[in-house]
Amino acid sequence: MSYLVISFSHKNTDIQTREKLAFPSEENKDRFLKQLLEDDIINEAILLSTCNRVEIITAVSYTETAAKSIIKKLSKYSGIDFDDLYERADIYEHNGAVHHLFSVASALDSLVIGETQIVGQLKDAFRFSIAKKYCEQKLPRALHYSFKCAAAVRNATSLGTGSVSVASTAVARAKEIIGNTCGVKALVIGAGEMSELTIKHLLSSGFDVVLTSRDTRKAQILADTYEQHVAVEEYSKLQDLLNEIPVMITATAAPYPIITQDIVQECDFERYWFDIAVPRDIADIESDKLMVYSVDDLQDIVDSNMSLRAEQAKTAYSIVNKMSLEFFEWLKSLEVEPVIKHMYTKGHEIIDKKIQTAIKKGFINREDEENIKKLCETVITEYLHQPSKKLKCISKDMECDMIVGTVQSIFGLKSDVNMLNKYKCDHVEENK
């Protein structure tokens, strides 16, 4: 079985394409994952869908066939031509898939290098598949190591500090445009995680924040979490708010635009709207004194961010490279340990059998059984010590599978599924 990741991100798709590929609800994700796993060659699957990327993370029997099958299903879901999607897709297989996964978890593949939300989003996607039993062993191991890698990158670099999210980047642009933010109102639409981050950055930048959401109760609960005052307005007042407040940032999970041309009035002051939702919350609108920024329009701040973080990114990539290699060494060691265990188990079974036969035939006395057994076990332990040590070293070699298979065949050993399952990811246990 091999790892396979199909990736669509800001690197290979524009926002219009990402909108069509987005999975805005758990129902969409669940339905799509079920369809993927109906294919016999796709054994496990995780779906990550954010404002900047869609990642299909799988364990498959045949990578090339599986990749085409996945993209075919994505084509049907999104309405985008198969050939177009296949040409755009970044397809990562086995070692490359794991390296890409670790890079994504460590926020090195993000629009904003070092942004702090991606690892949480990846954990949520992982927990969703675990809860639905869409992944059981191979992917949990990879995800477990990806989270370890992300933690190592955070500890070794400063990539997780400063203005490192799409929300903070939008606020940074708004502050740059406005200049003196004292007394300037900023409207936030939505009461989810991205809105929470947006409000935090707006308050720290000196804006007076107004929050509105279809769920007024949820909006009020969110507003009450801040020490500074956040005004909550009814969603029915959205049109008035849009035409009264100069700065607006929207980040809802709506599957269609909530702000359309018909609710936009001409104003005698400049307005700056930031749409950090995918699919977009703002339709194509034309209005004097109105500037609309989408996620992709924040690229210049992102580019500046990347140049400042270039040296840190080098360190981070070296960690990703190192831990990708370590991960495969660890996987190989999991294959070897059951073999070593069975070698000892088989030796002890032979000792027990031969001692009982010797007692029945009168070769040894019953009262000497324990001492003879201890002696035989000492011999087995010493005899198997060197082969066990060699097998552990071999686990790091590319030929490991062939050698382990040969040892199993020579000694008549079977693979221990229970032993392998013992090494599932820690996050599996958290969700049982």
Per the structure, how many domains does the chain have? 3
Residue 121 and residue 13 share a domain = yes
Strands 247-250 and 271-275, by their bridges, are parallel
User: How far is 326 from 333, CA to CA, in rounded Å?
Assistant: 10
Same domain, yes or no: 7 and 154: yes
Quick check: is 29 in a domain?
yes
Question: For the residues of 348-414, what is the DSSP string, one character each?
Answer: HHHHHHHHHHHHHTTSS-GGGHHHHHHHHHHHHHHHHHHHHHHHHHHTTSTTHHHHHHHHHHHHT--
**Shared-domain flag, residues 156 and 185:** no
- Return the higher-pLDDT residue of 387 and 4: 4
* Neighbouring-strand partners of residue 213: 234
Q: Lowest-confidence range among 302-306, 366-370, 426-430? A: 426-430
- Residues annotated as catalytic are 51
Residue 334's pLDDT is 65
Among 228, 114, 110, which Cα is nearest to 162's?
114
- Judged by DSSP in three states, 41 sits in coil
CATH of the domain at 71: 3.30.460.30
Give the model's pLDDT for residue 208. 96
* Boundary (domain end) residue, out of 161, 183, 200: 161
Which H or E run includes 28?
helix 26-37
Same domain, 114 and 202: no
Average pLDDT over residues 77-89: 94
155 and 18 both lie in a single domain: yes
**Looking at the structure, do residues 383 and 246 belong to the same domain, yes or no?**
no
Q: Is the pLDDT confidence value at 410 over 70?
A: no
Domain at 300, CATH number: 3.40.50.720
pLDDT of residue 337 exceeding 80: no
Same-domain pairing of 153 and 189: no
Choose one of 119, 134, 161: the last residue of a domain: 161
Torsion of CA 133, 137, 143, 146, to 10 degrees: 180
At 303, the pLDDT band (50, 70, 90 cuts) reads low
Return d(Cα 157, Cα 312) in angstroms, integer: 6
Query: So what's the pLDDT on residue 420?
Result: 39
pTM beyond 0.85? no
Range list of β-strands (E), 83-152: 90-93
**Overall average pLDDT of the 413-430 stretch:** 46
pLDDT of residue 431: 41
Least confident of 244-248, 253-257, 427-431: 427-431
Beta bridge partners of 46: 57
| Domain encompassing residue 384 | 328-427
Mean pLDDT (whole number) for 98-103: 95
Buried b (16+ CB within 10 A) or exposed e, 11-44: eebebebbbbbbbbeeeebbebbebbbebeebbb
Answer yes or no: do 151 and 222 share one domain. Answer: no
Distance of CA 78 to the CA centre of its chain: 21
pLDDT digit string, tens, across residues 131-151: 999 998 889 999 999 999 999
Domain membership flag for residue 319: no
d(CA 42, CA 255): 28
What is the structure's pLDDT at 19?
A: 87
Same domain, yes or no: 102 and 136 = yes
pLDDT band at 341; cut points 50, 70, 90: confident
Q: Using 50, 70 and 90 to split pLDDT, how confident is the model at 383?
A: confident
| 154 Cβ contact list (under 8 Å, min separation 6) | 106, 160
| Residue predicted with more confidence, 322 or 422 | 322
Give the pLDDT confidence score for residue 399 in this predicted structure. 53
Q: Per the domain annotation, does 323 fall within a domain?
A: no
- Identify the pLDDT of residue 346: 84
Given strand 2-9, what is the order of strands in its sheet?
A: 42-49, 53-60, 2-9, 90-93
One domain, residues 177 and 152: no
Let me know if residue 151 belongs to a domain: yes
The pair of structure tokens assigned to 118 is: 């991606």
279 upstream amide cis, omega within 30 of 0: yes
Q: Please indicate, yes or no, if residue 154 is contained in any of the structural domains.
A: yes
Of 36 and 297, the one with more pLDDT: 36
Same domain for 299 and 208, yes or no, is: yes
pLDDT at 405: 64
Write down the mean pLDDT value for the chain. 86
- pLDDT at residue 417, as a whole number: 41
Is it the case that residue 312 has pLDDT exceeding 90? no
Q: Is the pLDDT of residue 338 over 80?
A: no
Residue 313 lies in a domain: no
Poorest-confidence range of 61-65, 245-249, 253-257? 253-257
Q: What are phi and psi of 126, to 5 degrees?
A: -65, -45
Q: Select from 307, 338, 370 the last residue of a domain.
A: 307
